Amino acid sequence: MNVLVIGGSGGIGLALVKQLLEQHNIHSVIATWCTKQPTLEHPKLSWQRLNLCDESAIAASLSQIEKLDWLINCAGVLHSEHLKPEKSLSQCQADSFMQSMQINALPSLLLAKHAAKALKGSQSGVFLTISAKLASISDNKIGGWHSYRCAKAALNMALKNVSIEWQRTHPKVCVVAWHPGTTDTALSKPFQKNVAPEKLLSSEHSAHLLLNKLQQLSPADTGTFWSWDGQQLSW
Ligand SMILES: NC(=O)c1ccc[n+]([C@@H]2O[C@H](COP(=O)([O-])OP(=O)(O)OC[C@H]3O[C@@H](n4cnc5c(N)ncnc54)[C@H](OP(=O)(O)O)[C@@H]3O)[C@@H](O)[C@H]2O)c1
């Protein structure tokens, strides 16, 4: 199997890349980074720089891949120098909202567009993006984090839409959204103080649960949203 890990430089992404490389049925892993190139080397692994805000770069990257079995998008943003999750509406800013959409939502549509050809030949394809449970509209009880929540909800709609289109064109590819649980990475670091230690997953454990799920998925699961603890989430 040939696997592409988008955001392979992140906390969950890099842990996943390491575990994929240990799998006997994995032939090659291409992993992408944007600002931080990892030092990990392995005969089955190649690194590519990819900025997901640039569609032509996404197209160029995917055009080099002839056959792909799994595309796993582990990229995302919650906070940056200019982006802070909003506690109230008064903190909402158009440019922060657009930045969150640009990194958390739009890339999965563009990746699906440009990976469609390479995934077509797979007998057991998976197109999975890491979303977040807080994107579930029916599960939203506490509000807040407007931009991130809206962007991940938009991502979920994009994945559901791709799954519907690909049931016709790519019936052997399963399209799934994944909630990794609160995982100890740079993304969650500023927000960990109210998380009980037993509820905070290591990136290795989080990636292990994701890999287990990837190995269980079949085309019958397409268009679904899963949590790290085995629960199927409502959209
Ligand atoms: N950690 C959690 O508790 C948690 C909970 C729920 C959902 N999630 C989701 O899980 C996913 C992985 O998060 P993480 O915790 O592993 O975060 P992380 O350690 O901060 O990693 C983020 C990844 O996204 C990449 N990225 C950011 N902007 C990009 C861009 N413009 N183009 C290409 N790549 C870009 C980063 O690349 P560089 O570092 O190379 O720039 C990095 O690989 C995200 O979608 C996040 O929303 C995480």
Task: Tell me if 107 CB under 6 Å of ligand 1.
Answer: no
Q: What is the mean pLDDT of residues 77-97?
A: 96
pLDDT surpassing 90 at residue 86? yes
Task: Tell me if 52 CB under 6 Å of ligand 1.
Answer: yes
Q: What is the mean pLDDT of residues 4-19?
A: 98
pLDDT surpassing 90 at residue 82? no
> Which pLDDT value is given to residue 95?
96
Position 183 confidence tier, pLDDT thresholds 50, 70, 90: very high
Cα-to-centroid distance, 184 and ligand 1 (Å):
12
- Closest CA relative to residue 203, chosen from 2, 17, 70, 26: 17
Position 43 confidence tier, pLDDT thresholds 50, 70, 90: very high
Query: Is residue 53 a contact partner of residue 45, using CB atoms and an 8 Å limit?
Result: no
Task: Tell me if 53 CB under 6 Å of ligand 1.
Answer: yes
Domains with residue ranges and CATH for the chain: 2-227 (3.40.50.720)
Query: Is residue 143 a contact partner of residue 95, using CB atoms and an 8 Å limit?
Result: no
d(CA 175, CA 201): 24
- Closest CA relative to residue 178, chosen from 227, 221, 127, 212: 227
Position 35 confidence tier, pLDDT thresholds 50, 70, 90: very high
Q: What is the mean pLDDT of residues 197-206?
A: 96
Give the pair of three-digit tokens for residue 173.
């590819």
